Structure 1
Amino acid sequence: MLNEEMFLAVREEVTQAKAILVAITKQRPIADIRRMYELGQRDFGENRVPELIEKREALPNDIRWHFVGHLQRNKVSGITPFIHLIHAGDSPRLIRQINKDAAKDGRIVPVLLQYHIADEASKYGLDPAHPAAVLSELNLKELPNVLISGVMGMATYTDVDEQIAGEFNALHEAFTFLKNKHFSEQKDFATLSMGMSGDYPIALQRGSTMVRVGSLLFN
């Protein structure tokens, strides 16, 4: 069940930091999403394509849907007709597939480059030590239906704040390098998506422009 008091407090904190709150609603009932919508929330995130499609069809059309999990290439076509932002651009092959399916839909789909900043092998992502390596494998001029809009990363699941802060700093450095060296003329390259329920305050302190908060918002 939605904890309205917590939801409103988190959203206010994020707004005060001039960032965007993406409410993660995976496995949450449509009624909870509708209530957040009634309270003014418009950005929602899901990590499974079938659930995302089901919820999108049941809820208002002006919701901005974000895909936040690992995205399989054979599932891309299900979301390119409507997705607002794909956070999980974790390989050149996936990015090429997004471009291919977005072209069929006549859309330009925003994508974040996902970097592996955590000390956990289970997480996906590109190497933040070489942030531009993926660009050497992609000719973005040949991918007109993909708009690289920033970066995303997930910190290690730990109570050690110093480690989390260091990982977020590494992602911020990768973002800044790419912005200055490769996307300086692209105003749309502006999203630094980092921070979840357990660590979003640290992420905001480290310059996050978008946080993905889920379990904290529910009882």
Structure 2
Amino acid sequence: MSEDICQNLKDVQHRIEQACQKAGRDSNEITLIAVSKMKPLEDIEEAYGCGQIHFGENRAKELQDKMDACEHDDIQWHMVGNLQTNKIKYMVERVNWIDSVPKKKTIREIEKRASRIDRVINTLIQVNISGEDQKSGCEPEDLEKILKYAQGKNHVRVRGLMGMATFVDPDKVEEVRPEFRLLREIRDSHREWECENIQLDELSMGMTNDMEIAIEEGSTMVRVGRAIFGERNYGDD
């Protein structure tokens, strides 16, 4: 298994490097988040042994269990899924990134919980760029008020934006390019709200099927599960 995961990581890194070369970018600008949801801790250990540091989970309980069981202090844990506010208290002691913040209420809860243990949590504001009702995230027109609310928080650091494109078949992946471009444009148009704890440098967009398009459109973080850990029981990345 380790050889498979190691080879898969190399293959994904090669895809990243090729996409960066095409876009005239440095591949060191891209952070690979290995999305290990529904996969055992052993797979995380295998990937870690191959040099992978950033791991993402989309369920609060699964994230908590894996953080508790894993002994590697240098792992960067990302919460990438739909986040219920009442679950934040279970992850603030160890989570490094909450990538799916959709509203002011979430920021308020992170600040409250993190302040009690004097931790600073990296966050990304999730924006609904696909227009699909089932996709989480704030509407683009609501981002300004969220950023205004986040300004000056001592324990919430807003590092950028996250978006999920419409899921399309691999042969139609070019169709999602405008959605990735939209997120970059939204980020660029909100730079005026940057301050000490808000720096919109990160754009988390792109998964197994569409990471090349996302990188060409400015992604700095790609969330890849299937191409690293193999298929799951349902058609999500």
* TM over 0.5, shorter chain: yes
In the alignment, structure 1 residue 22 sits paired with structure 2 residue 33: yes
In the alignment, structure 1 residue 7 sits paired with structure 2 residue 18: no
Give the direction of change, closer, same or farther, for the CA distance of 1:97–1:186 in structure 2 (3 Å limit): closer
CA deviation digits over 1:140-165, x for unaligned, max 9?
22x22111110000000113334310
CA deviation digits over 1:53-75, x for unaligned, max 9?
22122221211100000111111
Counterpart contact for 1:14–1:20, Cα < 8 Å: no
| Partner of residue 159, structure 2 | 149
SS of aligned partner of 1:37: helix
CA deviation digits over 1:156-197, x for unaligned, max 9?
011333431000000000111122x11166684311100111
In the alignment, structure 1 residue 131 sits paired with structure 2 residue 136: no
| Partner of residue 200, structure 1 | 211
Q: Offset of 1:139 from its aligned partner?
A: 5.3
Task: For 2:40 and 2:166, locate their aligned partners in 1 and report how far apart those are by CA, in whole Å.
Answer: 28
Q: Offset of 1:199 from its aligned partner?
A: 1.0
Gapped regions of structure 2 (runs ≥ 5): 18-25, 231-237
Give the direction of change, closer, same or farther, for the CA distance of 1:14–1:145 in structure 2 (3 Å limit): same
Counterpart contact for 1:6–1:217, Cα < 8 Å: yes
1:1-219 correspondence runs (5 A): 3-14=5-16, 17=27, 18-59=29-70, 60-129=72-141, 131-136=143-148, 138=149, 140-141=151-152, 143-159=153-169, 160-179=172-191, 181-183=192-194, 188-219=199-230
Give the direction of change, closer, same or farther, for the CA distance of 1:189–1:36 in structure 2 (3 Å limit): same
Q: Offset of 1:31 from its aligned partner?
A: 1.2
Q: Offset of 1:12 from its aligned partner?
A: 3.7
Task: For 1:218 and 1:186, locate their aligned partners in 2 and report how far apart those are by CA, in whole Å.
Answer: 34
Gapped regions of structure 1 (runs ≥ 5): none
Q: Offset of 1:211 from its aligned partner?
A: 0.4
Task: For 1:130 and 1:187, locate their aligned partners in 2 and report how far apart those are by CA, in whole Å.
Answer: 16
Give the direction of change, closer, same or farther, for the CA distance of 1:187–1:96 in structure 2 (3 Å limit): closer
Task: For 1:98 and 1:157, locate their aligned partners in 2 and report how far apart those are by CA, in whole Å.
Answer: 30
* Paired-residue identity, %: 35
Give the direction of change, closer, same or farther, for the CA distance of 1:187–1:69 in structure 2 (3 Å limit): closer
Give the direction of change, closer, same or farther, for the CA distance of 1:125–1:34 in structure 2 (3 Å limit): same
Look up the equivalent residue of 2:62 and give its one-letter code: E
CA deviation digits over 1:84-117, x for unaligned, max 9?
1110110111111111101111111111110000
SS of aligned partner of 1:174: helix
RMSD: 1.9
Look up the equivalent residue of 2:221 and give its one-letter code: M
Give the direction of change, closer, same or farther, for the CA distance of 1:12–1:86 in structure 2 (3 Å limit): same
Q: Greater helix percent: which structure?
A: 2
TM-score, normalised on structure 2? 0.84
